[in-house]
């Protein structure tokens, strides 16, 4: 038993090193996830702004078309 008693210390050291490495990797991954979350939020806000601008432009175009269609002497495309 005395000849193999040293292995317990080495195994414990390896366990601690593996645990420390796992904790470090978890922290690195958490930072990556947080950065990706922030990027996704930014992209969501940008896409919502683009959709809002498009909705306003479509509304303006519809008002213009309706105004031109209701003008006196306008020609109907249908007949």
What DSSP character marks residue 26?
Answer: H
Q: Report pLDDT digits (tens) over 15-34.
A: 999 999 999 999 999 999 99
Structural domain boundaries enclosing 20: 9-67
> Residue 1 domain-assigned?
no
User: How many C-alpha atoms does 4 have within 13 Å on its Cβ side?
Assistant: 1
When the pLDDT of each residue in the chain is averaged and rounded to a whole number, the result is: 88
Rounded CA-CA distance 40/35 in Å is 9
Collapsed DSSP state (helix, strand, coil) of residue 55: helix
Rounded CA-CA distance 59/53 in Å is 10
- Taking only the tens of pLDDT, the chain with its 79 residues reads 556 777 878 888 899 999 999 999 999 999 999 999 999 999 999 999 999 999 999 999 999 998 888 877 666 556 4
Domain count, the chain: 1
pTM of this prediction exceeds 0.75: no
For residue 78, what pLDDT is reported?
A: 61
> Residue 18 domain-assigned?
yes
> Residue 50 domain-assigned?
yes
> Residue 77 domain-assigned?
no
Q: Are 68 and 74 in contact (CB under 8 A)?
A: yes
> Residue 73 domain-assigned?
no
């Amino acid at each position: 038993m005395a000849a193999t008693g040293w292995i317990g210390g080495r195994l414990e050291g390896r366990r601690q090193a593996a645990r420390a490495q796992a904790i470090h990797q978890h922290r690195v991954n958490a930072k990556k996830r947080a950065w990706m979350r922030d990027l996704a939020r930014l992209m969501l806000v940008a896409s919502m702004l683009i959709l809002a601008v498009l909705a306003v432009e479509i509304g303006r175009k519809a008002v213009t078309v309706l105004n031109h269609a209701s003008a006196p002497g306008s020609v109907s495309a249908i007949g």
